């Protein structure tokens, strides 16, 4: 048996938070780090800091100033693929096959803007189309394969995934339409919700806290926007999970906290 540690984190600009990246890698020593919203073109990605920490295998899908995902790994990566969801050319996904056979999918789902109406808000329409394509894609994945899906999915699907279901039910990220769409993605492959396995509903579980709060920890108005799912054959291999909330309080923080899972293979 061997254990690998995977961390997923919406970094909200990797070059702006290199000190936090170095601290995360030093303190938690992940074998695989999946980043979202890297906001950098591939040729300008700061690979040195990851190489220094042993993450020498890189799968990058970036673009200037916006979006972007990156998977950095100690384990060799045997193939890399990106899907152009909704044909928009956005860097929102990278798939890697690791040397142990696991297929790892790193996602950054569109946020969806402010108005939860596809007729009035093109960004929300894009988000719903993206989720519909993810559902169709999930249906195609063989149920007996070893897949892990991580990332900022920009939806908090359960009432206990938000600080107030009543106040946020009509707010983008927790509307019934989005929650139903994310549930459809999950059901299409019978994805196993790793985070909620270790922190069962109705316990509070958040990974994002707005910059607007003067004291994010005191107000604790969070949402679970970041997720880790796995195929059913892998669910017994998931050994522990933790939202690294302290990172939200580091200097120049992302508004997302990293989520860590230990996997025994």
Q: What is the pLDDT of residues 193-205, one digit of tens each?
A: 999 999 999 999 9
pLDDT for 118: 98
Residue 1 has pLDDT above 80, yes or no: no
Kindly list the distances between the CA atom of residue 115 and the CA atoms of 121, 123, 125, 188, 221, in Å, as whole numbers in the listed order: 6, 9, 10, 27, 20
pLDDT for 169: 98
The answer to whether the CB of 257 falls within 8 A of the CB of 10 is no
Question: Treating both helix axes as pointing N-terminal to C-terminal, what angle do 176-189 and 122-140 enclose, rounded to 10 degrees?
Answer: 20
pLDDT for 156: 98
86 DSSP assignment = G
Nearest to 205 by CA among 194, 214, 218, 213: 194
The answer to whether the CB of 182 falls within 8 A of the CB of 245 is no
Query: pTM to 2 decimals?
Result: 0.98
Residue 224 pLDDT level (bands cut at 50, 70, 90)? very high
In a 10 Å sphere around its CB, with 0-12 CB exposed, 13-18 middle and 19+ buried, how is residue 252 labelled? Answer: exposed
Secondary structure (DSSP) of 97-129 = EETTS-EEEEEE-----S---TTT-HHHHHHHH
Residue 132 pLDDT level (bands cut at 50, 70, 90)? very high
Residue 23 has pLDDT above 80, yes or no: yes
Residue 257 has pLDDT above 80, yes or no: yes
pLDDT for 241: 98
Q: What gap in Å lies between CA 226 and CA 247, rounded to an integer?
A: 14
Residue 181 pLDDT level (bands cut at 50, 70, 90)? very high
What's the CATH code, domain 3-264? 3.60.10.10
- Which pLDDT tens digit goes with each residue over 36-60? 999 999 999 999 999 999 999 999 9
Kindly list the distances between the CA atom of residue 125 and the CA atoms of 46, 116, 119, 132, 218, in Å, as whole numbers in the listed order: 33, 9, 7, 11, 34
The answer to whether the CB of 265 falls within 8 A of the CB of 8 is no
Residue 34 pLDDT level (bands cut at 50, 70, 90)? very high
Residue 121 pLDDT level (bands cut at 50, 70, 90)? very high
Residue 94 has pLDDT above 80, yes or no: yes
Looking at the DSSP bridge assignments, the partners of residue 229 are 149, 193
Sign of CA pseudo-dihedral 8, 97, 50, 26: positive
Task: Compute the CA torsion angle 122, 123, 129, 135 (nearest 10 deg).
Answer: -170
pLDDT for 158: 98
Residue 261: strand, helix, or coil: strand
| Average pLDDT of the segment spanning 112-117 | 98
């Amino acid at each position: 048996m061997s254990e690998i540690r995977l961390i997923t984190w919406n970094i909200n600009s990797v070059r702006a938070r290199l000190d936090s990246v170095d601290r995360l890698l030093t303190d938690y020593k992940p074998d695989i780090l999946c980043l979202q919203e890297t906001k950098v073109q591939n040729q300008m990605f700061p690979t040195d800091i990851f190489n220094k920490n042993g993450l020498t295998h890189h799968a990058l899908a970036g673009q200037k100033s916006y979006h972007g995902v990156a998977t950095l790994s100690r384990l060799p990566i045997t193939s890399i693929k990106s899907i152009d969801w909704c044909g928009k050319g956005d860097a929102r996904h990278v798939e890697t096959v690791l040397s142990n056979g696991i297929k790892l999918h790193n996602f950054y789902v569109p946020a969806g803007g402010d108005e939860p109406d596809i007729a009035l808000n093109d960004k929300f329409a894009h988000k719903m189309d993206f989720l519909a394509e993810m559902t169709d894609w999930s249906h195609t994945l063989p149920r007996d394969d070893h897949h892990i899906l991580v990332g900022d999915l920009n939806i908090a699907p359960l009432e206990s995934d938000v600080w107030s279901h009543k106040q946020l039910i009509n707010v983008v990220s927790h509307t019934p339409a989005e929650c139903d769409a994310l549930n459809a993605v999950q059901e299409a492959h019978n994805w196993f919700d790793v985070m909620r396995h270790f922190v069962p509903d109705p316990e509070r579980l958040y990974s994002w806290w707005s910059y607007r709060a003067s004291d994010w920890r005191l107000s604790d108005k969070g949402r679970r926007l970041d997720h880790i799912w796995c195929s059913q054959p892998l669910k017994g291999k998931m050994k522990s999970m933790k939202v690294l909330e302290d990172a939200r309080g580091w200097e120049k923080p992302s508004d997302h906290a990293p989520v860590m899972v230990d996997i025994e293979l």
